[in-house]
Amino acid sequence: MTQSLAQFEVQPVERTYSAGHLPLTVSIFADRPAVSAQMADDAEAAGFRLGVRGALRELLDSEARALGEVVLIDVSAVDGAALAALARIDIRAAHAGAQLVVSTSIAALDDVFGCLDQSGAQILVAPSRAERVIALGRVLGAMPQGRVRELSESDRLTLLRLTEQVGQLAERLDRASAPVPHSGTSVFRFESPAAAWAGAPHADAETRLVRAPRNPRAALPDPRLIRRIIRQRQLRGRFFDAELFADPAWDILLDLTAARAEHKRVSVTSLCIASAVPPTTALRWIGQMTEAGLLERVEDESDRRRAFIALTERSAEAMALYFTELGREAERLV
């Protein structure tokens, strides 16, 4: 699925900016010179204006500077100073409405994730160049509408052009990993499958929408059963292309359900692995599922720098009712 950015290169756009209408400003902090230069090239080609640019340690001195609307950070390795700087820039970005895009390694993911709980930062894990460009496109979609209206007509055309190009990249490189749709309606449907079946005798529209009574005491299944289901799902990848069966949302729910029944906590790195998709894609799913009310972030009371992911109470109830409905059939399906 991963392809070279050169195949879908984002071309620089000729543009002129009206007085008082500057493009969005990007600040870049990275210790690796090649990565810093690459991020700067892509940001400029996308129509952003470069602001502060420096090594990761300069985040510690950045509070007196105007960082602009977007901050790109590359964290290849972490130490105490870097984590403290990330936590401060996260709070500052949240207060200022700035967009953070932080790239890191799988080894440092848990530490980085634990520092970023305020600004809604995008986290990329060992990203390709194409994934960085896609992240810039998502920044545009997250910008407040009022900020976009401040741009001149030529500026807006620039942003529209970038959005179109990034959309093409995302469609080609990320088609198999579309995020969880979230229309504002509830993702939970506590219905009776029998009543919802359109072919059931005397079933009408009203009957099909009857909700099954809630059973808050429904017990989670034996975690050994869930682990067997997970292993069975993973077994398919030994004989077929794993992308044929990519279903990260369900794999995430199964893993967290088993962990809840086992009274275990799940780190974001562990959950990314359980999702069976690339870590950056898994993080996007985790974010979407959190927004939809399926998952929640749980701070580590013994170490505030760490955080875990868990099912919400409503989500746990839904999983319990699902396995209760399956009953003994679940054992025969494994």
In three-state secondary structure terms, 139 is helix
Tokens, residue 326:
């399956």
Assigned CATH for 193-333: 1.10.10.10
Is the pLDDT at 7 greater than 90, yes or no? no
Q: What does the DSSP assignment read for 152-216?
A: -HHHHHHHHHHHHHHHHHHHHHSGGGPPPP--SS-S---B-HHHH-TTSTT--HHHHTPBPPP-T
Place of tokens 């990761």: 56
Average model confidence (pLDDT) for the chain?
Answer: 77
Would you state the pLDDT for residue 238? 87
Q: Residue 171 to residues 6, 164, 166, 287: CA-CA distances in angstroms?
A: 16, 11, 8, 19
In three-state secondary structure terms, 318 is helix
The answer to whether the beta carbons of residues 68 and 101 sit under 8 Å apart is: no
Tokens, residue 25:
């400003």
71 HSE (CA, 13 A, CB side):
32
Q: Which of 38-52, 159-173, 313-327 has the lowest mean pLDDT?
A: 159-173
Smallest CA-to-CA distance from 118 within 137, 104, 134, 99 is with: 99
Would you state the pLDDT for residue 273? 95
Tokens, residue 299:
């701070």
Is the pLDDT at 201 greater than 80, yes or no? no
CA angle 90, 96, 102 (to 5 degrees): 35
Q: pLDDT tens digit string along 212-270?
A: 445 546 789 899 999 999 999 989 888 988 778 889 999 999 999 999 999 999 999 99
CATH 3.40.50.2300 fits 5-173, yes or no: yes
Would you state the pLDDT for residue 144? 59
Show the 3-state SS of 205-247.
Answer: HHHHCCECCCCCCCCCCCHHHHHHHHHHHHHHHHCCCHHHHCC
Is the pLDDT at 291 greater than 70, yes or no? yes
Please compute the mean of the pLDDT values over residues 156-178 and round it to a whole number. 53
The answer to whether the beta carbons of residues 155 and 161 sit under 8 Å apart is: no
Is the pLDDT at 197 greater than 50, yes or no? no
Q: pLDDT tens digit string along 138-161?
A: 887 766 544 444 455 555 555 555
Is the pLDDT at 165 greater than 90, yes or no? no
Q: Which of 3-12, 142-151, 186-195, 244-253 has the lowest mean pLDDT?
A: 3-12
> Which residues partner with 53 through β-bridges?
28
Is the pLDDT at 19 greater than 60, yes or no? no
Would you state the pLDDT for residue 16? 38
- Mode of pairing for the β-strands spanning 307-311 and 266-267: antiparallel
The answer to whether the beta carbons of residues 188 and 196 sit under 8 Å apart is: no
Q: Which residues contact 194 (CB under 8 A, 6 or more apart)?
A: 200
Cα 92 vs. chain centroid, distance in angstroms? 21
CA angle 209, 251, 255 (to 5 degrees): 105
The dihedral sign for the CA sequence 232, 126, 47, 4:
negative
Percent of the chain with pLDDT over 90: 40
Would you state the pLDDT for residue 211? 42
Q: Which of 33-47, 182-196, 245-259 has the lowest mean pLDDT?
A: 182-196
Domain boundaries defined on the chain: 5-173, 193-333
Q: Which residues contact 75 (CB under 8 A, 6 or more apart)?
A: 56, 82, 86, 102, 103, 104, 105, 108, 112
Of residues 130 and 307, the one with the higher pLDDT is 307
